[in-house]
Structure 1
Amino acid sequence: MAKFFKYKTTADLEAENARLNLDLRFSDDLSPLSQPVTVGTRTVGNRWCIHPMEGCDGNLDGTPGELTFRRYQRFGGGGAKLIWGEACAVNDEGRANPRQIALNPRTRDEFAKLVEQTRQAHRDSLGDDSDLLFGLQLTHSGRYSVKPIIATHDPLLDPRTVVNKATGQKVTADYPIITDDELKRLVDDYVATAKLAVEVGFDFLDVKQCHRYLLNELLGARNRPGPYGGSFENRTRLAREIFTALKAVVPSNVLLATRMNGFDSIPYHKGDNDDGQPDPWTAPLANGWGMSESDPFTPDLAEPIRWVQEMRTLGVDLVNVALGNPYAQPHFGRPFEYPPPDGYESPEHPLTGVDRHFKCAEAVQRANPGLAIVGTGYSYLQEFFPQAGAANVRDGRITFVGVGRASLAQPDWVKQLQDNGKMDRKRVCRTFSYCTALMREKNHPLGQYPTGCPPFDKEAYGEIWKEVLELKVKK
C-alpha cells in the first residue's frame, strides 16, 4: 500500500507540487477566509462551507435520527458560515438507502427541529446566526436508489448496478428506463419538497446534479431518445424545468443552488496489483458529462460552464463543483491515502486529484465572475487545507472552501483556527476511508449502518466500528 502523505510543512507540499508540475498554492495568511461575501440576497460571514455528506443515520420514515441531530449541532457550532445540508430524497422511490432523510408532511416537524437546533448551536457558539446560510440538497438517487431507476442505459455502469442484492442481479439491456412522463412528474415532487424546506427554515435549496444520481445521469445521457436526452438542450431540460418551477414558488430570501459534477469520467476497478484500472471502453462514449466522447480522463468543461451560465439566468446563486462517481471511481471525487474497503489503491498521486478539483472549480469561477462557487478536494491536504483554501480565495480561484470528510473528524475546525490559529492536529482527518467503510456496510437491522469518523469521534462511532469489524470477521 503506497503512502503518499509525508509532508510536515507547506514547504514540503510546495516542493512536491513543483515535482508533480501541479498548481497547488498555499498561504499562511488566512485572513481571506474570514471575509464575508454576498450570495444573492444574503450575506455569508466567512468563506468556509461544510459539504453535503449523508450520515445514513435517518429513521426508516425519513425523519432525521439521533446521530443526524448530533452531526448538525456540531456543524452548527463549528464556525463555518455555509452549511450545505445533505441529500434529502424528494420521494420514497428516490431514496439511496433506507435511512436517507426525506422531507414530506409526515417528517416536516422533525426537520424544523433540525434547522432550529443547528441555528441555536451556531448562536451559542458564535453569538450571531444572521450571516449563517443553511441549505438542503434535494435529490433523486436514480440508478443508486434502493430499486434502481435509470435515466439511460450506460454500458459501463449497467453491469455494476445491482437490481436485487439477494441474487446479485444486475441491470441488463431490457431493464426499463424512466419514462418522459415520469420525469415530468418529478418536477411536482421537487416543488412540494422545496415548499416544505422553506417552511421549516432552510436558507437555500440545492437541486443535486452530481455523482451520477438521476439529474447528473441525464446531463450525460447522449444516448437517451426523446426530449430528455441527446442534445445539450434536452439533457439539461429536466433540471431547467425544476429550477423554473422552484423560482416561481420560492421567496426571494431563499436561494437556489446546485451541486453539479464538472466531470464524470468512467468506472475503475481493482487491478492485479490492487491499483485502480479504468474499465475497458470504446469511443465514442455513449454517456458522460464534462468529458469528450473520445477522452474520458481529461475534463472538458465547455458544457458544464455553459450550463452554469444558463442556470444563473434561471435564478441560481450558488454552485458547488464536484467530480466523479463515488461508486465507480472514488479517487476522482475523494483523493485518499487509504482506499475504501470495496475500492482500489489510488492510480495517481492524490495531489494530482486535488489539483484537478481546484482547476475545474477555478475554470467555472473564472467563467462566472460574481457567482458564488464552492470548491472541493481539500480534505486530503490534512492540516494544510486552510493554507490552500486561503490561497485559492486570495487568488480569485474560488469563493468558498468546501470541506467534507474533515468536517466529520473535526467539525469545529473553523473555531479552532479562530481561537488557536491552527487546527487540533490530533483530530485532523487522515483520509483513512473509515467513513466510507461504514457507509458501504448494509448488514444492519435498518438496512444501513450510520457513517461518521471512528478514529476521531469514538464517542459516537467507536462501538459502531467495532460491530462492523466483528461482522466482517464472521463473514
Structure 2
Amino acid sequence: MAPRNTPALNAPFFTPKQSPPAGSALSTNPPTLFTPLKIRDVEFQNRIWVAPMCTYSASKGHLTDFHLVHLSAFAYRGASLTIIEATSVLPNGRISPEDSGLWSDSQIAPIRRIADFLHSQNQKLGIQLAHAGRKASMVAPWLVERGTAQTATADVGGWLGDVMGASAISWGEGYPMPREMSARDVRDVVEGFRDSARRAVEAGVDVIEIHAAHGYLLCSFLSPISNRRTDTYGGSFENRIRILVEVIEAIRAVIPSGMPLLVRISATEWMEQHASESWDFESTIKLAKLLPGLGVDLLDVSSGGNNEAQAIQLHNGFQVGIAGRIRSALFEAGIKDLLVGAVGLITEAEAAKEIVQNGKPGSKDPTVEIEDEHGATAKADIVLVARQFLREPEWVLRVAHRLGVEVKWPQQYHRGQFLKDSKI
C-alpha cells in the first residue's frame, strides 16, 4: 500500500501534519538553544522566539492578510513562538493610526485566522498587549526622516486631543503633549488590558506579553522622570509600579491558568548621567522579585526608550549582560521560577547559543556564575529576535545549520534542507 500524507488535526484545510514541529532538534545532545522548554501548559521546541515588531499596517486596528503572511513566514520556519506586534488595548493607545488593536470584538477574527494557521503548522502564537501613552498618535516612521518623529493630526487619523500619560510631560521633540491621566483613565486602561486579554484567549493565542518598556504608558508610570503624580500612582516605588501590578492581576484573572504570561520591561532607561533618580537596574531587580507571586512566568529584558536624552551605546547583544545580571540576582535571592528573556541586536548563531547555554564553562563574567539546580550559568532562558528575522525569515534553520544541529524542517521544504557539508 502506498504511503499517504497525514493531515494536520483540526485544520479547516489540508496541510500535512508537522510532527515534530519545524525547528525541533533531531540531533542527539543538542545545545540548550535547541532543547524544549515548557512554561505552564505550553511547550516550545527550541529557545528562539520572534519578538514583537510594529509594522504600521493594520486597518482600523484590525490585522490583515499582510500580518498572516508576515507572521506565518517566521513561525512555520521553526521559531517556537511568534509574538504579534504591540497591540493596543484602547483606541488612543495606538502608536500610529495604522497600529494593531484588540479593544473591539471585531478584531478577534483576524487574529484567530493567524492562530489557526500557526496551529495547523504545530507552532505557537503570542500577542503583546500595549498602550502607547504619551508616544501615541504618531505617523509611521518611514514617513519621516530617520531619527525624527512627527505627530499624526486629525486629517490623517490622529487623536492629539486624546493623548494621555502618567503626567503631562512630552516624550520629546516631535511628540505630543499628553494630558495627565485621571483616576478614571487609569481604570479604563487596566480594564482595557483585561478585556483585550480575554479577547486574545478567544482568538486562540498561546501566550500573552504585557508591554511595559520603551517609554510607552506602563513604562512611563515606572520612571520618576516621567511620573510626577502625587496620588497613589506616583511618588514611591510601590506607587509607580501600581498600575503594572493591577494590569498583571487583571490579566491573570481572565486567562487560563496554563497560559504563560510575560512582561517586557526597560531594565534601565539609561538616564543615570542626566537624573539623580531614574528607573535603573536595581529598580528592575526589585520589581522582578515580585513578579512570580503575581503570576508572571518570564521577564523580557529590554532597555531605554523613555527619554530622548538616554545615554545608550548600541552594539550586538547590548542588553544580554543586563539580562544575565537580573537572572543572577534572582538566583542569589533564591528565586528560580521567573524565566528571563534576552533581546536586542542578537544576530549570530554562536551568540544566541551562548546566551542560553547551560553549564557554560570558563566564563569570566561574575554576573553569570550563579548556578541553578541544573548547573546552569546561562544569561537567559530564551532569546527574542526581531530584525534578523526580517532579513532571514528562516533564521532558526540557518542557526541550526551553523551550529551543526540537525532540526526538523517543514514537510513541504524537505528538498531545500542544508546538506551536512554545505556552506551558507
Q: Do the structures match in fold with TM over 0.5?
A: yes
Match of 2:340 in 1: 373
Q: Does 1:160 align with 2:165?
A: no
Does the 8 Å contact 1:143/1:161 carry over to 2? no
Match of 2:62 in 1: 63
Q: Does 1:284 align with 2:276?
A: yes
- Looking at structure 2, the residues matched to 367 and 40 of structure 1 have their Cα atoms a distance apart, in angstroms, of 23
By how many angstroms is 1:38 displaced?
A: 2.2
Q: Does 1:307 align with 2:310?
A: no
- Looking at structure 2, the residues matched to 408 and 319 of structure 1 have their Cα atoms a distance apart, in angstroms, of 24
For 2:288, what is the secondary structure of its paired residue?
A: helix
Match of 2:204 in 1: 201
- How many matched pairs? 326
Render the CA deviation track for 1:96-133: whole Å, top value 9, x for unaligned: 1011111221121111102112333xx2xxxxx2xx44
Change (3 A) 1:389 1:326: farther
Match of 1:362 in 2: 324
Render the CA deviation track for 1:316-369: whole Å, top value 9, x for unaligned: 01221111118837984xxxxxxxxxxxxxxx5x44x634x1111111222333
Q: Does 1:186 align with 2:189?
A: yes
Does the 8 Å contact 2:341/2:380 carry over to 1? yes
Change (3 A) 1:71 1:331: farther
Does the 8 Å contact 1:205/1:255 carry over to 2? yes
Question: Aligned residues: percent identity?
Answer: 24
Show structure 2 runs of 5+ residues with no match.
1-28, 138-159, 331-335, 358-376, 406-424
Render the CA deviation track for 1:1-50: whole Å, top value 9, x for unaligned: xxxxxxxxxxxxxxxxxxxxxxxxxxxx9722111112233222111011
**Where does 1:97-176 land on structure 2 (aligned, <5 Å)?**
97-103=96-102, 104-120=104-120, 123=121, 129=122, 132-146=123-137, 147=160, 148-154=163-169, 157-160=170-173, 162-163=175-176, 171=177, 176=179
**Where does 1:55-454 land on structure 2 (aligned, <5 Å)?**
55-59=55-59, 61-103=60-102, 104-120=104-120, 123=121, 129=122, 132-146=123-137, 147=160, 148-154=163-169, 157-160=170-173, 162-163=175-176, 171=177, 176-221=179-224, 223-266=228-271, 281=274, 283-285=275-277, 288-290=278-280, 301-325=281-305, 328=308, 332=312, 348=313, 350-351=314-315, 354-355=317-318, 357-368=319-330, 369-379=336-346, 382=347, 385-394=348-357, 395-418=377-400
Match of 2:35 in 1: 35
* Amino acid aligned to 1:101: S
Change (3 A) 1:64 1:215: same
Change (3 A) 1:57 1:329: farther
Does the 8 Å contact 1:198/1:254 carry over to 2? no
For 1:160, what is the secondary structure of its paired residue?
A: coil
Render the CA deviation track for 1:140-166: whole Å, top value 9, x for unaligned: 100111133121244xx5442533xxx
Stretches of 4+ aligned residues off by more than 3 angstroms: 326-332, 417-423
Q: Which structure has more helix as a fraction of its residues?
A: 1
Change (3 A) 1:112 1:95: same
- Looking at structure 1, the residues matched to 404 and 308 of structure 2 have their Cα atoms a distance apart, in angstroms, of 35
Does the 8 Å contact 2:349/2:403 carry over to 1? no
TM-score normalised to the size of structure 1? 0.64
RMSD (CA atoms): 2.5
